[in-house]
Amino acid sequence: MRILVLADVHANRAALEAVAREPHDVCLFAGDLVDYGPEPAACVDWAREHVFAGVRGNHDHGVAQNVEVQGVGGFRFLTAATRPPTVAALNPCQRRYLAELPTTRMLAVGGKRVLLVHATPRDPMDEYAAADPAFWAPRLAGLGVDYVLCGHTHQAYTLDVGGITVINPGSVGLPRDGDPRAAYAVIDDGRVELKRVPYPVERTVKALAAGSFDPVAKQMLADLYRGGPYLSRWLRQGQAAAPATA
């Protein structure tokens, strides 16, 4: 059984299509199909057709419920700038799909017990979980699973914590580790591999330019997709501030 593990697509259709070419038997999704990127409808439709089991991320929830966000800097600004156009781009069925995704999902795949969450079992949509066994240990106590699949941090890692393997595949659509390639994971008969694949970044930038996002947000996102100075500043400072001008 070859399992494709995805998270944090963030409406980046070109990146998703590149990752989807990875051979697999089933696809499991750890949340956040939408916000930030320019093509949310295509990404939701792909998930509806191809994802075997998935969970709702915080951005999926925000778009499904049309949650208004206020922000003047960093990723909060990008969420505020891209949320209204994202909501407008989705039809009622697509938003309903996001709303009906569970916040946690327990299932058996390939003879293994799997828990899917976007963030952590304690706080499925919002808690930020670094690659720290001491952080994860109390959150995994008593779960009785083989794998916990998560996302949210946009940073790929695997951990073995008390016999449970935690897998964060990183972000398909908006990595935050300085590598612009799309990130994902594969579980192949118990062997876990974190993988990266290049995709046509300029295709995403072109779609971004043609959309209705705020011009400053377009500038920031284009830089993020290319792994440029804005991302480097975010990594260096631990947070991002929106540029003063477009």
Using alpha carbons, select from 131, 176, 246 the residue that is nearest to residue 32: 176
Using alpha carbons, select from 147, 151, 143, 99 the residue that is nearest to residue 124: 151
Element (H, E) at 3: strand 2-6
* CA angle, 63 then 237 then 202, to 5°: 55
Tell me, what's the pLDDT at 245?
26
Tell me, what's the pLDDT at 120?
98
Q: What's the DSSP call for residue 119?
A: S
**Cβ contacts of 70 within 8 Å, gap of 6 or more:** 76, 80
Domains annotated for the chain, with CATH where assigned, are 2-237 (3.60.21.10)
**pLDDT tens digit at each of 246 positions of the chain:** 999 999 999 999 999 999 999 999 999 999 999 999 999 999 999 999 999 999 999 999 999 999 998 877 788 999 999 999 999 999 999 999 999 999 999 999 999 999 999 999 999 999 999 999 999 999 999 999 999 999 999 999 999 999 999 999 999 999 988 899 999 999 999 999 999 999 999 999 999 999 999 999 999 999 999 987 665 565 555 444 433 322
Euclidean distance between CA atoms 104 and 106, whole angstroms: 7
Using alpha carbons, select from 113, 86, 6, 121 the residue that is nearest to residue 52: 6
**Cβ contacts of 171 within 8 Å, gap of 6 or more:** 7, 8, 9, 10, 151, 154, 182, 183
Question: Which pTM value belongs to this model?
Answer: 0.93
Tell me, what's the pLDDT at 230?
62
**Cβ 156 vs Cβ 185: under 8 Å:** yes
Using alpha carbons, select from 56, 183, 53 the residue that is nearest to residue 118: 56
Tell me, what's the pLDDT at 239?
43
Euclidean distance between CA atoms 1 and 217, whole angstroms: 41
Paired sense of beta strands 147-149 and 112-117, if any: parallel
